[in-house]
Amino acid sequence: MTLNLQQQAQRRMRRALFFLVGLVLVLVGALVAIAFTGGGGSTKAAPDSKTESAGPSATPTVRPDDGGYVAPAQTVKLPDGATKGAGNLPVQFPHTPEGAAAMAVASVRNAWSMDPAQVRAGIVAYSSAQYRDQMATAAEDGAKGNRQYAGIPDTGPLPAGATLVAWPIGVKYSAVNSDTVDVLVLLRVTHAAKTGAEPTTTIVVSPGRAVWEGGDWKGVPTDPGQPLPDPVDIGTAYFNEDRWKAIQEGDRL
C-alpha cells in the first residue's frame, strides 16, 4: 500500500469511528468485563430500557487529526498458544508478559461473538477457575447483548449478512510480578445488522489482569472504576504518543 493510499484509508476510517459512551450499560460491555476483566464478578446486565435496547449512544471517538498516516512506533508479535482449548481457542501461552497479553487479546476478541456457545467457550478457556462457573451462566445473555449492540433482534436466526467482528489493533502490558500482568487492549469493533447495512466501526479500550494459574494465563476481575486511556486509531500520531504497541499478525499490523 502506498503512503497516499494509507492516508486515504486512515481518513476514511477516522470518519467512521465512534466510541461507545455507555458501553458498560449494555450486555456486551458487561460480558467483555466478565470474560476477561471480571467486572467485579457481577453477571447482572443493565436495567431493561426501551432506549437502551436499541444500543448505546455514540460520539466521535478519536481526537481531531488532520495529519496523514503515521506508522506505529512500536510493534509486537504476540506469541501463539501451544495448543487449542474450548471452542478451538488458543491456550497455553508462554509464561511471559507477552504471553499474558496474547491471552488477553484472544479473550477480548472472542468475547465479541453472537454465538452463545462461542462466548461460553471463551469464558471456559480464559477465566480464572474461581470465577469461571458463575461467568459461564452469563454467556447466553452476553451473546444477546452483542446482537443488541449490532442492531439485531435478541432471538431468531441471524439476518443474512449480519456481522460483528472485533479486531485488536494495539496493546499495552505491565508486569506486576512474574505471575500477574495488567493488560490494555485497543480494538476496532465493526458491525452491520444485515446485507446492505452500512458497517459501523467503534474503537474500544478493554482493560484486564492476567494471572498465571495451572500452567497458563487466566483472567481475573479488575476495578471497574479504573481510569482508561482515550481510544485512538492506529496510524495516527496519537497512537504513538499514547505508547500503544501495534499488534502484528502474520504480515499485517
pLDDT tens-digit readout, 15-32: 333 333 223 223 344 344
* pLDDT tens figures, 162-194: 999 999 999 999 999 999 999 999 999 999 999
Cβ atoms of 229 and 205 within 8 Å: the answer is: yes
**Regarding beta strands 17-20 and 180-192, do their DSSP bridges make them parallel or antiparallel, or are they unpaired?**
unpaired
pLDDT band at 55 (very low <50, low <70, confident <90, very high): very low
Cβ atoms of 39 and 31 within 8 Å: the answer is: no
Q: pTM for the full model?
A: 0.78
Residue with cell 432471538: 155
Which residues, in sequence order, are CB contacts of 135 under 8 Å at separation 6+? 34, 35, 41, 43, 123, 127
The span from the CA of 172 to the CA of 189, in Å, is 18
* pLDDT tens figures, 103-159: 999 999 999 999 999 999 999 999 999 999 988 888 999 899 999 989 999 899 999
Strand ranges (DSSP E) for 90-215? 90-91, 163-177, 180-192, 200-213
Amino acid at 132: R
Q: Is the dihedral of CA 112, 77, 200, 56 positive or negative?
A: positive
The pLDDT mean for the chain works out to 78
Q: Tell me the three cell numbers of residue 41.
A: 464478578
* pLDDT tens figures, 209-251: 999 999 999 999 887 778 899 999 999 999 999 999 999 976 5
In the chain, the percentage of residues whose pLDDT exceeds 70 is: 72
The length of the chain, given as a count of residues: 253
171 DSSP β-pair partners: 185, 245
Give the alpha-carbon dihedral of 47, 49, 53, 58, to 10 degrees: -90
